[in-house]
Chain A
Amino acid sequence: MVYLLPKILVAGGALMSLLATLGLPRWRNGAFWVALVLLLAAGVDAAVLWQAEGNLSLLVAGSMIADPFSSLVDLLVVAAGVSSLLLSWNGDRYGPEFPALVAVAVLGMMMVAEAGNLIWLFLGVEVLSLPLYVLAASERTALGGEAGLKYLLLGAFSSGILLFGMALLYGATGTTLFVRYPNLPLGTGFGLYGVGFLLVLVGLGFKVAMVPFHMWVPDVYEGSPTPVTNLMAFGTKVGAAAAILRLVAYGFYPQAQWWSPLIGYLAVLTMIVGNLLALPQRDLKRLLAYSGIGHAGFLLVGIAAHNFLGSMAAVFYLVPYGLAAIGAFALIRLVEGNGEGVQLDDLEGLAYAHPWAAALFIVVMLSLAGIPLTAGFIGKFYLLQAALVANQTGLAVGLVVGTLVGLAAYLRPLQRMFARSRSERVQAFRWSWAGGAVLVVAACGTLFLGVYPSPMMHIVDQSANFFWLR
């Protein structure tokens, strides 16, 4: 029961926040504060649980796994939820239910990460997706409607594929508890369960934005309100990557000889395509969308490397990516003000008008690009080691090429900030405490991790071990 407390807190946050929307009209931000406080409480509890002795147990016969990995992912998705809430500050236009829906989506991400059972995994995917469909369209603009509909249709499609794959897996193995799969006599070849596994991978690949299942990402990211995009880019990716990691790197590790190259190729493809398509973008959110695709590829490198170092590297990489993403979205939120979307041209002159905002933005973008002394570099270095220790030079070279292409993409917005003219958006730029706090925390965290990564590496070291399940 105690292991479920973070989830209960988040679920309670969603319900109380719903109730609070009905409260006194004078207390307009009630729903916001209720959800924020309960999410933060869930985060604190997850952190306490992470350290707790004996935090290794199976609940409901292994359907839910309580271990440091679950707790760490809980922490990360709570961070995503909290940052989204903060970015929605003063956002009456997103509707009163916004905080409640965010809390429900966070709950879904937590469920996905702790799942040891295909059914629980599927439930989690749905619980995280449904609120996001609504949130994507929560601002009633044409682009928002397009985003919501596109996300809904493709999301439903991917859920169908996921479910079909799960059915095949059940047919092949006789159990939906995928934590048992390594102990079953499945052999190391490719059988019916292989087909099921591929379909599940496709379904989760949609969520994590893996090429070639990435088509929905740019439109949805562009059309959704910025706080929602933030939640999708960070939270959904963390949840789905955690699920893939647990399912693939643990559930199917005896069959690694055929899936490891497959995921390796997909990873290289994802890194290069995502970053390449980021190059010509003019809209900052679309650019970040493609960057999110590219970074999904980086995460997959750790999984494809198929060793303990690779799992750790993938888990570690979630943190720099998440910090950089929320930092970048915070800047978008600050620049867009009451408007929607930020073009690259809108950044012109930011470096002179608001040097601090520009400096913080530079830090997070350099981290996305993987420049030393930022967290992103440590993450890429981690992945590179994993790939080379696994003796997969191709993977390492793909990682490097992806980084290279991405770098050019991430530096273009930065160049714009140093242009001499000032755009209207920059002139209307106004700090808000919430957006500023997110940006500062993201940039400082990025720098801290880049300069002194040891504590985080220790945490990852303790968390990314699934083999106690055997």
Chain B
Amino acid sequence: MIGEYQALLVYLVVALLVALSMSFASERLGPRAPGGLKRETYESGIVPEAPVRYFSVRFYRVAMLFMIFDVAVMALYPWATSLRDLGRSGFWHALPFLAVVAVTFGYLWKRGGFQWH
């Protein structure tokens, strides 16, 4: 059983060695110059104008909501393309799913999930 996975084991060991040696080498060999500009926030080479602030949690909320409904709608694509073959029963079977999505969407809307503030 283990024999089949021998190659995988070798691969794992090699990958680990490479990764470790690279980080070790850069740690040891690289020049060090702490302080100065290095302590500034990196904004693509431009000198930062104001002290940095973390992203507002609202970004994450929007991103999450987008993800959820994106995935939900994605599930509808294969259904939509093969609806003709699935026939009437296929149509009805997707409706509960749509209902779930719709209810959560409505809930989110009414609760103000789409408002920025």
Contact = CB atoms under 8 A, between A and B. Distances in A.
Chain A directly contacts chain B within the complex, with at least one CB pair under 8 Å: yes
Contacts of A11: 100
B13 interface: no
A255 to B, nearest CB: 15
Interface SS of A by simple majority:
helix
A22 B111 CA distance: 8
Interface stretch (B47-55, B72-80, B102-110): B102-110
A192 B1 CA distance: 7
A18 B107 contact: yes
Interface in B89-117: 99-100, 103-104, 106-107, 110-111
Contacts of A191: 1
A196 to B, nearest CB: 12
B95 to A, nearest CB: 13
A172 B5 CA distance: 11
Contacts of A270: none
A19 interface: yes
Interface string A436-463: 0000000000000000000000000000
A172 B1 contact: yes
Contacts of B110: 22
A19 B1 contact: no
Contact of A22 (B1, B99, B107): B107
Contacts of A22: 106-107, 110-111
A441 B107 CA distance: 35
Interface string A14-26: 0100110110000
Contact of A15 (B1, B2, B103): B103
Interface residues of B, number: 10
A15 B110 CA distance: 14
A18 B103 contact: yes
A14 to B, nearest CB: 9
A19 B106 contact: yes
Nearest to B104: A18
A21 B109 CA distance: 12
B107 to A, nearest CB: 5
Contacts of A21: 107, 111
Contacts of B104: 15, 18
Contacts of A19: 103, 106-107
A22 B104 CA distance: 11
Nearest to B2: A192
B76 to A, nearest CB: 18
Nearest to A21: B107
B100 A15 contact: yes
Interface string B63-84: 0000000000000000000000
Nearest to A193: B1
Nearest to B103: A15
Contacts of B107: 18-19, 21-22
A21 B112 CA distance: 13
Interface string B1-27: 110000000000000000000000000
Contacts of A15: 99-100, 103-104
Contacts of B99: 15
B108 to A, nearest CB: 10
B2 to A, nearest CB: 8
Contacts of B106: 19, 22
A22 B100 CA distance: 16
A191 B110 CA distance: 54
Interface in A145-173: 172
Nearest to B102: A15
Interface in A285-312: none
A191 B107 CA distance: 49
A19 B111 CA distance: 10
A417 B1 CA distance: 61
Given A11-B100, A19-B107, A172-B1, 17 more contacts: A15-B99, A15-B100, A15-B103, A15-B104, A18-B104, A18-B107, A19-B103, A19-B106, A21-B107, A21-B111, A22-B106, A22-B107, A22-B110, A22-B111, A191-B1, A192-B1, A192-B2
- Across the A-B interface, the 3 shortest Cβ-Cβ residue pairs: A22-B110, A18-B107, A15-B103
Interface of A: 11, 15, 18-19, 21-22, 172, 191-192
9 contacts: A15-B100, A15-B103, A15-B104, A18-B104, A18-B107, A19-B103, A21-B111, A22-B111, A192-B2
